[in-house]
Amino acid sequence: MSAVLATPPATSQEQEEPTTIDGFHLVIDALKLNGIDTIFGLPGIPITDLTRMAQAEGIRVISFRHEQHAGNAAAAAGFLTQKPGICLTVSAPGFLNGLTALANATTNCFPMILISGSSEREIVDLQQGDYEEMDQLAIAKPLCKAAFRVLHAQDIGVGIARAIRAALSGRPGGVYLDLPAKLFAQTMEAAAGKKSLIRVVDPAPRQIPATDAVRRALDLLKGAKKPLILLGKGAAYAQADADIRALVEQTGIPYLPMSMAKGLLPDTHAQSAAAARSYVLQEADVVMLIGARLNWLLSHGKGKTWGGPKQFIQIDIAPTEIDSNVAIAAPVIGDIGSCVSALLAGMGSGWAKPPAEWTAAIDERKDKNLSKMAVTLAARPSPMNFQSALSVIRDAVKARPDAIVVNEGANTLDFARSIVDMYEPRKRLDVGTWGIMGIGMGFSVAAAVVTGKPVIAIEGDSAFGFSGMEVETICRYNLPVCVVVFNNNGVYRGTDVNGSGGADVAPTVFVKNARYDKLMEAFGGVGVNATTADELQRGLAEAIASGRPTLINAVIDETAGTESGRITSLNPSAAKKK
Ligand code: FYN
Ligand code: ADP
- The pairing of strands 481-487 and 550-555 is parallel
pLDDT on residue 2: 42
Query: Within 10 A of 450 (CB to CB), how many other CB atoms are there?
Result: 21
Atom of ligand 1 nearest to the CA of 279: 46
Span 373-388, average pLDDT: 97
Is there an atom of ligand 2 within 6 Å of 318 CB?
yes
pLDDT higher at 306 or 578: 306
Answer left, alpha or beta for residue 98, where phi above 0 means left and psi between -120 and 50 means alpha. alpha
pLDDT on residue 576: 63
CATH T-level fold of 18-196: Rossmann fold (3.40.50)
Task: Give Cα 342 to chain centroid, integer Å.
Answer: 28
Give the contacts of 563 (CB within 8 A, at least 6 positions apart): 492, 571
Is there an atom of ligand 2 within 6 Å of 47 CB?
no
- Quick check: 127 pLDDT over 80? yes
Q: DSSP 3-state assignment of 271?
A: coil
CA 386 to ligand 1 center in whole angstroms: 14
Question: What residue owns the CA closest to ligand 2's atom 5?
Answer: 292
**Are the CB atoms for 302 and 283 separated by under 8 Å?**
no
Query: Within 10 A of 393 (CB to CB), how many other CB atoms are there?
Result: 24
Q: Which of 81, 243, 336 has the most ligand 2 atoms within 8 A of CB, as the residue to mutate? A: 336
Is there an atom of ligand 2 within 6 Å of 101 CB?
no
How far apart (Å, rounded) are the C-alpha atoms in residues 248 and 274?
A: 14
Compute the half-sphere exposure of residue 398: CA atoms within 13 Å on the CB side of its CA. 12
CA 425 to ligand 1 center in whole angstroms: 19
Q: Which of 223, 222, 221, 228 is nearest to 362 (CA)?
A: 228
Q: Which of 564, 566, 570, 573 has the most ligand 1 atoms within 8 A of CB, as the residue to mutate? A: 566
**Are the CB atoms for 174 and 145 separated by under 8 Å?**
yes
CATH of segment(s) 379-577: 3.40.50.970
CA 109 to ligand 2 center in whole angstroms: 7
Task: Give Cα 500 to chain centroid, integer Å.
Answer: 40
Q: What is the DSSP letter of 354?
A: P
CA 232 to ligand 2 center in whole angstroms: 6
- Quick check: 185 pLDDT over 50? yes
pLDDT on residue 569: 84
pLDDT in tens, 191-217: 999 999 999 999 999 999 999 999 999
How far apart (Å, rounded) are the C-alpha atoms in residues 2 and 16?
A: 11
Q: Do domains 18-196 and 211-362 have the same CATH topology?
A: yes
Domain boundaries, the chain: 18-196, 211-362, 379-577
How far apart (Å, rounded) are the C-alpha atoms in residues 63 and 387?
A: 35
Atom of ligand 2 nearest to the CA of 258: 3
**Are the CB atoms for 40 and 446 separated by under 8 Å?**
yes
Tally of residues, the chain: 578
How far apart (Å, rounded) are the C-alpha atoms in residues 449 and 452?
A: 6
pLDDT on residue 7: 47
Span 399-403, average pLDDT: 98
CA distances from 565 to 380, 386, 410, 429 (A): 21, 11, 5, 18
pLDDT band at 6 (very low <50, low <70, confident <90, very high): very low
- Quick check: 13 pLDDT over 80? no
Q: How much of the chain, in percent, has pLDDT values that exceed 90?
A: 93
Separate counts of helices (H) and strands (E) for the chain: 24, 19
Span 330-341, average pLDDT: 98
pLDDT in tens, 472-509: 999 999 999 999 999 999 999 999 999 999 999 999 99
Question: What residue owns the CA closest to ligand 1's atom 50?
Answer: 564
CA 297 to ligand 2 center in whole angstroms: 13
Atom of ligand 1 nearest to the CA of 296: 31
Q: DSSP 3-state assignment of 371?
A: helix
Tell me whether the omega of the peptide bond preceding residue 8 falls within 30 degrees of 0, making it cis.
yes
CA 408 to ligand 1 center in whole angstroms: 14
pLDDT on residue 546: 98
pLDDT higher at 348 or 414: 414
Tell me whether the omega of the peptide bond preceding residue 383 falls within 30 degrees of 0, making it cis.
yes
Q: What is the b/e burial string over 60-99, where b = at least 16 CB atoms within 10 angstroms of the residue's CB?
A: ebbbbbbbbbbbbbbbbbbbbbebbbbbbbbbbebbbbbb
How far apart (Å, rounded) are the C-alpha atoms in residues 468 and 368?
A: 39
Q: What is the b/e burial string over 223-238, where b = at least 16 CB atoms within 10 angstroms of the residue's CB?
A: ebebbbbbbbbbbbbb
Q: Angle at which helices 23-33 and 48-56 pack, to 10 degrees?
A: 50
CA 271 to ligand 1 center in whole angstroms: 18
pLDDT in tens, 23-69: 999 999 999 999 999 999 999 999 999 999 999 999 999 999 999 99
How far apart (Å, rounded) are the C-alpha atoms in residues 373 and 358?
A: 23
Edge to edge, what strands does the sheet with 146-149 contain? 60-63, 38-41, 85-89, 112-118, 174-180, 146-149
How far apart (Å, rounded) are the C-alpha atoms in residues 185 and 463?
A: 41
CA distances from 172 to 46, 66, 73, 77 (A): 28, 24, 16, 13
Nearest ligand atom owner, CA of 232: 2
Q: Which of 265, 204, 254, 255 is nearest to 428 (CA)?
A: 265
| Residues lining ligand 1, Cβ inside 6 A | 259, 274-279, 297, 369-370, 373, 410, 413-414, 417-418, 431, 435, 564-567
CA 293 to ligand 2 center in whole angstroms: 7
Torsion of CA 289, 79, 98, 259, to 10 degrees: -50
Compute the half-sphere exposure of residue 6: CA atoms within 13 Å on the CB side of its CA. 17
Query: Within 10 A of 541 (CB to CB), how many other CB atoms are there?
Result: 16
pLDDT in tens, 338-377: 999 999 999 988 899 999 999 999 999 999 999 999 999 9
Is there an atom of ligand 2 within 6 Å of 426 CB?
no
Q: What is the DSSP letter of 208?
A: P
pLDDT on residue 571: 86
pLDDT on residue 58: 98
Integer-rounded Cα Rg, in Å, for the chain is 25
Is there an atom of ligand 2 within 6 Å of 436 CB?
no
Burial status of residue 304 (CB atoms within 10 A of its CB: 0-12, 13-18, 19 or more): exposed
Of the CATH numbers 3.20.20.80, 3.40.50.1220, 3.40.50.300, 3.40.30.10, which one belongs to the domain with range 211-362?
3.40.50.1220
How far apart (Å, rounded) are the C-alpha atoms in residues 307 and 321?
A: 23
pLDDT in tens, 508-541: 999 999 999 999 999 999 999 999 999 999 999 9
CA 277 to ligand 2 center in whole angstroms: 20
CA 407 to ligand 1 center in whole angstroms: 14
Question: What residue owns the CA closest to ligand 1's atom 44?
Answer: 410
CA 67 to ligand 2 center in whole angstroms: 26
Burial status of residue 8 (CB atoms within 10 A of its CB: 0-12, 13-18, 19 or more): exposed
pLDDT band at 417 (very low <50, low <70, confident <90, very high): very high
- The pairing of strands 146-149 and 174-180 is parallel
**3-class secondary structure per residue, 217-253:** HHHHHHCCCCEEEEECHHHHHCCCHHHHHHHHHHHCC
- Quick check: 454 pLDDT over 70? yes
How far apart (Å, rounded) are the C-alpha atoms in residues 418 and 375?
A: 14
Query: Within 10 A of 507 (CB to CB), how many other CB atoms are there?
Result: 10
